[in-house]
């Protein structure tokens, strides 16, 4: 088992890891998200994604990207902490931070074999044409109902307020 910090790579290191996976005949799965407060829905989703291939790369939105997507009060947890928690999961093989609003550039740099996104994002998946154009496939993951970081934050606010 690798130390979780060794699983957090920059894009260049991930490209080298991708080349090694390709040489070994291994299938790389890619997914992405903010993963601000990790919950059972996230874990179920990531385990599903990992089962789609031999290695899972998680593209993690940077703090600036999360703020642009979720608003000025997010993220709750800073990017390095989120990356470390995610890298500690057995189902996650690599974590790469990206600063753009969506991971299309990272997807094009890595060209995963499988692109996974939650079925709640079926209306918009970043990079499917690139992946499918290179022989890969797109898979929509089923959601574990009743789990949402935004809902969790709201429950905390309601239950604990300014306490």
* Percentage of the chain lying above the pLDDT 70 cut: 98
Domain range holding 44?
4-160
Predicted TM-score (pTM) of this structure: 0.91
- Is the pLDDT at 105 greater than 70? The verdict is yes
Pairing of the two strands 28-33 and 8-9: unpaired
C-alpha span between 24 and 82 (Å, rounded): 29
**Per the structure, how many domains does the chain have?**
1
| pLDDT, the chain, mean | 92
- Is the pLDDT at 157 greater than 90? The verdict is no
Mean pLDDT of all residues in 33-47: 94
- Is the pLDDT at 12 greater than 70? The verdict is yes
Helix (H) or strand (E) holding 66: helix 63-70
* SS3 of residue 25 by DSSP: coil
Per the document, the length of the chain is 163
pLDDT-based confidence at 162, cuts 50/70/90?
Answer: low
The CATH number assigned to the domain holding 16 equals 3.40.50.620
């Amino acid at each position: 088992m690798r130390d979780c910090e060794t699983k957090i790579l920059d894009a260049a290191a991930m490209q080298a890891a991708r080349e090694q996976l390709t040489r070994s005949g291994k299938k790389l799965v890619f997914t992405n998200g903010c993963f601000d407060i990790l919950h059972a829905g996230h874990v179920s989703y990531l385990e599903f994604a990992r089962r789609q291939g031999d290695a899972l790369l998680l593209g993690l939105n940077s703090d600036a990207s999360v703020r642009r997507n979720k608003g000025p009060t997010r993220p709750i947890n800073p990017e390095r902490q989120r990356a470390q928690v995610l890298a500690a999961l057995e189902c996650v093989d690599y974590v790469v931070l990206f600063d753009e609003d969506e991971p299309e550039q990272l997807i094009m740099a890595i060209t995963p074999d499988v692109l996974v996104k939650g079925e709640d994002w079926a209306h918009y998946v970043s990079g499917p044409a690139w992946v499918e154009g290179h022989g890969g496939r797109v898979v929509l993951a089923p959601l574990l109902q009743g789990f949402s970081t935004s809902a969790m934050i709201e429950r905390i606010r309601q239950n604990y307020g300014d306490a």
